[in-house]
Amino acid sequence: MKKHLNTLFVTTQRAYLSKASETVVVKVEGEVRLQLPIHTIGGIVCFGSVSCSPYLMGFCAEKGVALSFLTEQGRFLARVHGPVSGNVLLRREQYRWADDPVRSANMARYFIVGKIANCRTVLQRVLRDHSGKVEENGLRRTVILLGRCLERCNHESDLEVLRGIEGESAHAYFAVFDNLIVAQKDAFSFKERNRRPPLDNVNCLLSFLYTLLTHDARSALETIGLDPAVGFLHRDRPGRPSLALDLVEEFRPFLADRLALSLINLRKVQGRGFKVMESGAVKMEDDTRKAVITAYQERKQEEIIHPFLEEKTTVGLLMHMQALLMARHVRGDMDGYPPFVWK
Amino acid sequence: MMYSEDDPIMISALQHYVFCPRQCALIHIEQVWAESRLTAEGRIMHEKVHEEGNESRGSVRIARGLPLRSLRLGLVGVADVVEFHGTGKGAWQPLPVEYKRGKPKFDLSDAVQLCAQALCLEEMLSIVVPEGALFYGKTRRRTDVAFDEALRRETEETASRTRDLISGGVTPPPVYTKRCKNCSLVAGCMPKAIAKQRPVTRYLAAVTKEI
Residue A313: pLDDT above 80?
yes
Q: Is A148 on the interface with B (CB under 8 A)?
A: no
Is the Cβ of B38 closer than 8 Å to some Cβ of chain A?
no
Given this model, what pLDDT does residue A73 score? 63
In the three-class reduction of DSSP (H, G, I as helix; E, B as strand; rest coil), residue A280 is classed as: coil
Q: Do A217 and A252 meet the contact criterion of CB atoms below 8 Å apart?
A: no
At A292 the three-state DSSP class reads helix
Q: How would you write A197-261 as a 3-class SS string?
A: CCCCHHHHHHHHHHHHHHHHHHHHHHHHCCCCCCCCCCCCCCCCCHHHHHHHHCHHHHHHHHHHH
Give the pLDDT band of residue B37 (cuts 50, 70, 90).
Answer: low
Rounded Cα–Cα distance for residues A341 and A251 (Å): 9
Q: Which of A39, A144, A334 to mutate to test the interface with B (most CBs of B within 10 A)?
A: A334
Interval A128-137 mean pLDDT = 79
Write down the mean pLDDT value for chain B.
Answer: 86
pLDDT confidence band for A331 (50 / 70 / 90): very high
Cα–Cα distance measured from residue A113 to residue A205, given in angstroms and rounded to the nearest whole number: 25
Higher-pLDDT residue of B88, B136: B136
CB B112 within 8 A of CB B151: yes
Per DSSP bridges, beta strands A76-80 and A66-70 are antiparallel
- Contacts for A159 with CB less than 8 Å, ≥ 6 apart: A101, A104, A105, A108, A233
Mean pLDDT across chain A:
88
- Please tell me if residue A117 touches chain B, with a CB cutoff of 8 Å: yes
For residue A202, pLDDT beyond 80? yes
Handedness of CA A284, A286, A287, A290 (dihedral sign): positive
Of B35, B173, B187, Cβ closest to residue A333: B173
Residue A226 with chain B: CB contacts under 8 Å: none
pLDDT of residue B52: 67
- The closest alpha carbon to A303, from A311, A294, A315, belongs to A315
Environment class of residue B157 by beta-carbon count within 10 Å: exposed (0-12), middle (13-18) or buried (19+)? exposed
For residue B187, the chain A residues in CB contact (below 8 A) are 1-2, 324
Average pLDDT over residues A88-95: 92
- pLDDT score recorded for residue A1: 46
Q: Report the residue of A322, A335, A343 to disrupt the B interface, i.e. the one with the largest count of B CBs within 10 Å.
A: A335
3-state secondary structure of B95: strand
pLDDT tier for residue A5 given thresholds of 50, 70 and 90 = low
Confidence of residue B40 (pLDDT cuts 50, 70, 90): low
Q: Does residue B41 carry a pLDDT above 80?
A: no
pLDDT at A44 exceeding the cut of 90: no
- pLDDT for residue A169: 95
A-to-B residue pairs, Cβ atoms closer than 8 angstroms: 82
Q: How far apart are CA A46 and CA A78, in angstroms?
A: 10
Q: Is A58's Cβ below 8 Å from some Cβ in B?
A: no
pLDDT digits (tens, 9 = 90+) for B97-122: 998 888 887 778 899 999 999 999 99
Rounded Cα–Cα distance for residues B38 and B58 (Å): 35
Residues ≥6 apart with Cβ < 8 Å to A78 = A68, A69
**Backbone phi, then psi, for A10, in 5-degree steps?**
-110, 110
- What's residue B57's pLDDT? 75
Q: Which amino acid is at B95?
A: L
Show residues of chain A in contact with B204, CB under 8 Å.
Answer: 110, 113, 336, 338
Interface test with A, best of B200, B201, B202 (most A CBs within 10 A): B200
The per-residue pLDDT for A134 is 73
Q: How remote is the C-alpha of B159 from its chain's centroid?
A: 11
From the DSSP assignment, how many helices (H) and strands (E) are in chain B?
A: 8, 7
* Percentage above 70 pLDDT, chain B: 89
Q: Is the pTM of this model over 0.85?
A: no
Nearest-5° angle of CA A55, CA A56, CA A59?
90
Which residues have CB under 8 Å from A176's CB, separation 6+?
Answer: A123, A138, A139, A142
| Buried residues in A300-338 as b, exposed as e (16+ CB within 10 A) | beeebebbbbeeebbbbbbbbbbbbbbbbbbbebbbbbb
Distance CA A201, CA A213 (A): 19
Percentage of chain A modeled with pLDDT above 70: 96
Could you write out the DSSP letters of every residue in A154-206?
HT---HHHHHHHHHHHHHHHHHTGGGG--S-TTT----S---SS--SHHHHHH
Q: Return the DSSP state at B127.
A: S
B183-205 confidence digits (pLDDT tens): 888 888 889 888 887 789 889 88
Other CB atoms within a 10 A radius of the CB of residue A181 amount to 18
Q: Is B71 helix (H, G, I), strand (E, B) or coil?
A: coil
Q: Over the stretch A217-228, which tens digit does the pLDDT of each residue have? A: 988 898 888 999
User: Is residue B211 over pLDDT 50?
Assistant: no
The answer to whether residue B211 neighbours chain A at the CB level (below 8 Å) is yes
Give the DSSP H or E segment for B45. Answer: helix B37-51
A279/chain B closest Cα distance in angstroms: 43
Q: CB-CB: which of A22, A63, A336 is closest to B204?
A: A336
- Name the residue of chain B whose CA is nearest to A153's CA: B208
Q: What is the mean pLDDT of residues A269-295?
A: 86
- Are A189 and A201 contacting, i.e. CB atoms less than 8 angstroms apart? no
CB contact under 8 A, A1 and B201: no
Q: Nearest CB to A328: which of B34, B190, B211?
A: B190
pLDDT-derived band at B34 (thresholds 50, 70, 90) equals: low
Q: Are strands A15-20 and A51-52 parallel, antiparallel or unpaired?
A: parallel
Q: Which residue has the higher pLDDT, B73 or A8?
A: B73
Query: Between B199-208 and A136-154, two packed helices, what is the crossing angle to 10 degrees?
Result: 150
CA distance B180 to chain A (A): 12
Partner residue opposite B30 with nearest CB, options A22, A87, A325: A87
Among A309, A328, A337, most B C-beta atoms within 10 A, so best to mutate, is A328
Per residue in A54-87, pLDDT (tens digit) is: 999 988 887 778 788 887 766 668 888 776 667 8
B171 contacts on A by Cβ (under 8 Å): 331-333
pLDDT score, position A189: 87
Q: Do A85 and B31 make contact, defined as CB atoms within 8 angstroms?
A: yes
Residue A193's pLDDT is: 87
Nearest CB among A150, A324, A329 relative to B208 is that of: A150
Q: What's the pLDDT band for B51 if we cut at 50, 70, 90?
A: low
pLDDT, tens digit (0-9, with 9 covering 90-100), for A152-176: 998 888 999 999 999 999 999 999 9
- B5 has a pLDDT exceeding 80: no
